Amino acid sequence: MSELVFYVNGKKIVEKNPSPTTLLADVLRYKLKLTGTKVSCGEGGCGSCTVMVSWFDRSTSKILHYSVNACIVPICLLHGLAVTTVEAVGSTKTRLHELQERLVSGHGIQCGFCTPGMVMSMYALLRSNPVPTELQIEHALKGNLCRCTGYRPILDAFRSFSKDSGCPMGDRCCRNKDKKNSSDVVENCNENKNESDMGKQELIFPSELQLSDVYDQQTLEFKSDEVTWLRPVCLKDLLLLKKQHPEALLAAGGTNVAFYLRNASREKPLVIIATTHITELRSFEENEDGFLVGAMTSMTLLENKLMSLIDKHSETKTRLYHSLLDALCLFGSPQIRNRATIGGSLATASRLADVNVLLLAAGSHVKIASTDGEREVKIHDFFTGKSTTCLKPNEVITDVLLPFSTQDEYCGFYKQSPRKDLTLADVNAGLLMEFEAKNSSTVKNAFFAFGGLSSMLAVAKKSSSFVIGRKLDGSLLNELMLSLANELDQFVSGDDAKSFKVAVAQGFMFKFFLKISHQRFPKLEFLRLFKEEERYLLSSQADLQQKHSGVQVYDIITNQSETDSVGQPVPHRYAKQCATGEAVFIDDILPSQGELYLTLVTSTKASAKILKIDPSKALAMKGVVGFLDHTSIISSNKTGLYLDEEIFATEKVDFVGQTIGAVVAESHEIARKAARAVVIEYEELQPITTIEDAISHNSFHSWPGDMGAINYGNVSKAFGSCDHVIEGELKVGSQEHFYMETNSVRVVPKGEDGEMDVYCGTQYGAGLQNLVASTLNVPCNKIYVHTKRMGGSFGGKEFRSYLITLPSALAAHKFNRPVRCALERRQDMQITGYRRAYLAKFKVGFNNNGKVMALDLDMYSNDGFHPEYSAGFMGQSLFYSDNCYAIPNIYVRGHLCKTNLPPTTAMRGAGVPQGLVICEYWMTRVAEFLKRPQHKIREVNMYRGGDVTFISVPIEDSLRRCFEEVLKQSDYEHALVNIENFNRQSTFLKKGISVIPIKFSPGLPPSWYKAGAVVNVYLDGSVLLYHGGVESGQGLHTKMIQIASRVLGVSIDKIHISETCTGIIPNSATTGGSSGADLNGAAILDACNQLMARLKPIKDSNPDGKWEDWIKTAIAQKINLSASGYYNRAISEDFDWKTGKGQPYGYYTYGSAVTQVEIDCLSGNYVILKVDIVMDVGKSLNPAIDVGQIEGAFVMGTGLYALEEHLFGANGHLETSGAGKYHIPTISSIPLEMNVSLLKDCGNPQAVYSSKGIGEPPLLLSNSVFFAIENAVIAARRQAGLSPDFAFNSPATTKQIQSACGLGPQHLLKSLVT
C-alpha cells in the first residue's frame, strides 16, 4: 500500500505516496499549519517539538499515550496512530486547559518558545497518569529544555497536579491568612490544586483506530528519489525483505533514522524497513532463565515490565533488573525512551549506550533470525568491534534474554556524564560479581564492562579474572584498584582525559565493592562510611531522585486602585498565547504564495584562500531558484557594527562559518540540501584559535582612542607596603546563548518603490534597518523592521541578526518574492557569536587583616576575527574588576585577542560575568592564604553606602543590606559549621558553601540612552502602545502595559502592544543592558502624561464619568488621542580613559547569594543543595517577573560557571555543537531549594517608579556556585593531603571537579579500617 493514514488532533490525514524523508514536525508546521509545535534543536534534544502520540494496544485493549520529539519522527512511522498537538489541548478562543491555566498563573512562561513542548510533555503524562507523584512530574519534564525561567515556576505550576504536593510554607500558606492584610506574600502556594476539571475537554481517541485493526495489518511501501520505506507486518516478511535488501536500516523507534534521512542522497539510495507492527518482535516471555524481551520493546515499556517483575520476584532474583532501572533512569529523555527500543540499542553497538554495557556484564543472550534460520548468541560474542556486531546483513534481532540473578550474584550500573539528563556518558560501567555459595566471601565469577573509554565497549578481562577465587576484603579491593588502573589505562591511550576516565572507572568499582559488601555482609565493617555517604554510595538512581522547591518573598501593595497594576505580580501579558501555541514567532508566520527559502553556504575552514565557488550541482536540483555570492551585491559588500565584515566572502575566509554564499529554493528542505551540494575549493592557511596562540603571535585587535587600561592610585607603591603579595591566573570559558528560537528572518518586498518589510527576531531593529537599507542602496524610510517577540535572545540577536537578514533581503530584491531563513541549531551556534573566553593574570597585595591594598590585573579575551564591540565589553570587565570591594590602588588592563574563530558578540552581562568571577577568584585566594573565613574577608573589603567606586559611581546602602540579609536568611554561620562537621566525617562526599555580593549597572552607553513611544487611544477606550523595546521573554511589554495602566487609570485588559516596528518608532536604541524598562518605560510615561494633560479638562468637568465617556467626549471635541513620548536623559557620562574621570553608570542593582553544594569526589558529579538570594530591584514594577528574571538568570549563570563547555577545535570548528554536545542546565541541574527575596524599603529615583533593571544582574550571583564547588574541592584536597594550590578554572565541570579532588586508589583505600 502506498497510502499513509494517521490522525492529527482528531482529523484524519491521508497522504498518498508520502516522502519517506519527511518528518512529523515538517508536516505539522508546513502542511497542516500547526505552528504551535516548535523546532529548536532538530535532533530530539530539547523537547520544544514535543507532541503526544496515541495508539490502541490490542494486546491489552488499552489506549496508550506517550510524548515524542516531532523533529525526529518520520511520518511513515505514524500509520494508524493519532497525534495530538498543543493546539488541541486548549485555546484562548475557547478555553485553556487546566494545566495551561496553572502554567500561566504560576508565572512559568517567559519567552514562551519552549512552552508548548512543556505543555505537551505534561499533558501526555496526565493522559496516562491523571494523578502522578511530584517525582513523576519532574521525570516527565527532563526531556524539555528552558533557557529563560530556571524551571522552578514550571515545576511549581505542574506539581499542583501531584497527589503528594503540599504548600512548602506550612502554616504560612497563603490560604491560612488574609493576603490583603499581609505585605509578606509567598507566591507559590498551590490553591485549588485538586479542583481540576481535567478530562472534560480531552480529545477523544479516533474510534476508527480503536474498532478496526486494518491499519495494523497493512504492508506499506513509500518511495522518493533518495529513500525507499517498507513496512512488513510479520516476521516472515521482514526476513524476506532483509534478504532482498541486506543493506537496509531497520526503523523500530526511529530515534536515529531522522539523522540518516537528512543526509540521504541519490548517489546512495537508502532502504528503510519499519518493524513497528511485527507482533513477534513485541512479545514477552518469562522462563526459568529470565525474561525474554522482544527487540521492539521500547525503553519505557521495558521499564514498566521490569518494575512488575521486581514486585513479583525476590530482590535476589531481580538484581539485574534493579540495575537496568538505574540505567533506564538516565537513558536519554522520556521522549526518547518512549520510542527507543532495546533491539535498536544493541544493534547500534554504541560504546556509550547505557543499556548495552550492563547487558554485556550480565551475560545476556541475543536471539537472531534470518531466512536461513534462527540462532542464539551470547552477548559477549554479539559485539565484535567499533559500532559493529556479529549480525549478518540479512539478520535481525528478535529477542533479548534478561537473565534472572542468582542468590549469590550482584550487579551494578554506573554512569558519569557532563550533565545528569539528556547526555551521553563520559564513562559508564556494567559490573557483575558472583560468589561461591551462600554467605561465602569467595568470588566465583566476575565481569567488568566499561563504555566511553575507547572506540568500543571495553571489557576488563584481566581484572575480572583477577578477583576470581579471592575473598571479598580490603586486600582484594586494594589490589583490584591497582589492577584496574593498569588495565584500563591501555584502553584510553592518547585520550586527553585518560586520568579522569580511569579514575572515574575506579570510582565505579569502589562504589560497586561497597554495594556488594553492604548487601552481602551488612555486619562486615571493614569500610568506614559516614551515614550520608552510605545513602549516596549504596542507593540506586531512583532512590537518589530528589524534588525541587523554593520560596519567593516580596512586598505586595494592597491599597491600590484596580486600574493601577504597577507593583502587582501580573502574569506575562502573552503567556496564554504561548501556552496554547498561538504565539507567533518568526518562522511561524504563514508563508505567502511564491515564498522562497534561503540557506547560507559557509566556510568549513578557519583560515584559507577561496580558490573556487561552484554552485552548479545545487542549481541543478529541482526546486532551487538561485544562488547568491559576492557578485550578487547591489551596493557595498561591507557590513557589521564597524563595517569591517563582508556579507559574502570574496577572496579569503577567516573563520569557520563565515558566509560565502546563499542558496534560494522553494522549501527549507531543498535549500538546505542544495547548500550542502555547493563546492568550495580552498588553499588552507595556519589559523590562530586560542588566547595563548594570539599572545605568542602578538595577534590583537586595537583599542579605540585611549581605552584599554585604568590606573587608579599608585599600585607600585602600594605593593611595597603590603604585608603579603600573591599572584595567579584564571581561565573563564566561553558560553553559547542557546536561545530556544534560532535566528530567523522573513523579508517581504512590498512591490513598489523599493519598500520592504523585514520580520526578524532582533534586539536592535534600527541598526538592522540601516544595514538593510545600505545593502539595497535605498533610504531607511523604505525599510520597516518588525519584531513581535523573540524566543529568547540574551544578547545573541543584538548585532549579528544581519548575517541572515542581508542575504535574505538581497534575495527578496533579486527575485521580488518573500524570502525567509531560519537557521538550524548547529549552524546558528557556529556562526552567530557567543560569550568571550578570558584568561586573567593577577597580582594582589593585602595586609594581615585581610584588607586588599593593591590589584594589578591583565585580562585577555578571545574575540574572534572581528572586534564586534569587543572594546566596550572588555571595558565592562575592567569597570567591574573591583566587584563590590573598595581597593585603593588598581591597575587593570584589557587585551583583545584576534583569532580565527567566529566573532564573539553580546551576551547577558556583557563582559561583567568574566570580570566579576576573576575578582572573586583572587579574593578567595586572599582568604585561603590568610586561612580566614571567606565571607569575613569579603566583608572587610566591601564598599559602604556613600562610598564612590574607582570609576566614580556612588554606592548605596543596599549593597551591604543585601549581604547581611542573605547571611541571615541562609543562616550562614550555622550552615558553615554544619558543612565543616560534615566534611570532617565524610571522605567521598564533600560540601561547600559560598556567599557572593554583586553590583551591576543597567544601562547603555550615554549616546544610546534614548527611547520613543506612541500611545493611541481609540473610540471604544482601548489603548494601543508602541515603543522601541522588543519582547524576548523578559516581560518588557507587560511592564510597559502596567506603566500605562497606572498613568491612564485603565485596566491592563484595555491595553495592547502588537509589535515593535521601525516604521512607527524610529532610531531606537538596542534592547539590552537591562535598560529596556528604564528607557521605554520613561518614554511611555511621557506619552501617557501628555494624553492625561489633554484629557484633564474633560475629566474635571465630569469627575464621575468613566474612561470610555471621557474618550468619546475627547473625540467629539477633536482632541488628539495619539501621543508621541520621548526620553533622552542620560544618567551617566562618558568615561575618560586617559584621565580616569567620568561616571559611566547611573546606578547599580545589588544582590547577594549564598550557595551550598555537595560534590561526589569519585565522579565529579555535584548537587546544588540550596541557594538563598536577596536582590535589590528598587520598587519592582512586577515582582513576579523580576523573581522570574532572577531565577532564570541564576540558572543560566550556573551553566556558565559550572556546566557549559563551549569548545573550539584547533581547526576552528565548534566541537560542542548542537543540543547533544552543548549542555545547558536541565531540571536536574537547578538547586534543590531556591529561595528568592526582594529587598524591602528601597527605591531608585533614576528610573520609572523607582524600579531597577534586573535582566542581567542575577546571573552574576551564580558564580557562588563555582566557589561553593571550589570550597568543597578544597575540603577534599585538604583531607587527602594534597596541595592547597591547584588550577581550578571556570566552568567547574564534573571532569575538573573529579580531577581536582585527586581521589585516586591510594586515597580511596585510606578509608579502610586497619
Residue type, 640: G
Inter-residue contact 756 to 776 (CB < 8 Å) = yes
- Residue burial 99-121, b: 16+ Cβ < 10 Å; e: rest: bbbbbbebbbbbbbbbbbbbbbb
CA nearest neighbour of 295 among 348, 331, 345: 345
Secondary structure, 3-state, 508-536: HHHHHHHHHHHHHCCCCCCECCCHHHHHH
Q: Which residue has the cell 528574571?
A: 1189
Q: Which residue has the cell 522588543?
A: 1030
Distance CA 926, CA 815 (A): 64
The grid coordinates of residue 921 equal 577568584
Inter-residue contact 316 to 407 (CB < 8 Å) = yes
CA nearest neighbour of 893 among 877, 906, 909, 907: 877
Residue 286 β-bridge partners: 291
State yes or no: is 1256 an active-site residue: yes
Query: With left for phi above 0 and alpha for psi between -120 and 50, is residue 199 left, alpha or beta?
Result: left
Distance CA 1030, CA 506 (A): 52
Residue type, 426: D
User: Is 1210 buried (19+), middle (13-18) or exposed (0-12) by CB count in 10 A?
Assistant: exposed
Distances (CA, A) of 804 to 39, 628, 679, 808: 18, 12, 20, 6
Distances (CA, A) of 752 to 405, 749, 760, 944: 78, 8, 21, 62
Inter-residue contact 354 to 415 (CB < 8 Å) = yes
Inter-residue contact 1001 to 1115 (CB < 8 Å) = no
* Secondary structure (3-state) at 931: coil
Inter-residue contact 854 to 718 (CB < 8 Å) = yes
- Count CA atoms within 13 Å of residue 545 on its CB side: 18
CA nearest neighbour of 481 among 515, 457, 448, 441: 448
* Secondary structure (3-state) at 631: helix
User: Is 14 buried (19+), middle (13-18) or exposed (0-12) by CB count in 10 A?
Assistant: exposed
Query: With left for phi above 0 and alpha for psi between -120 and 50, is residue 45 left, alpha or beta?
Result: alpha
Catalytic residue among 226, 1158, 1256, 1270: 1256
Distances (CA, A) of 764 to 716, 761, 835, 872, 910: 43, 9, 18, 17, 16
Inter-residue contact 662 to 598 (CB < 8 Å) = yes
User: Is 331 buried (19+), middle (13-18) or exposed (0-12) by CB count in 10 A?
Assistant: buried
Longest dimension (CA), the chain: 103
Angle, CA 267 vertex, CA 262 and CA 270 arms, to 5°? 50
Q: Which residues are catalytic?
A: 1256
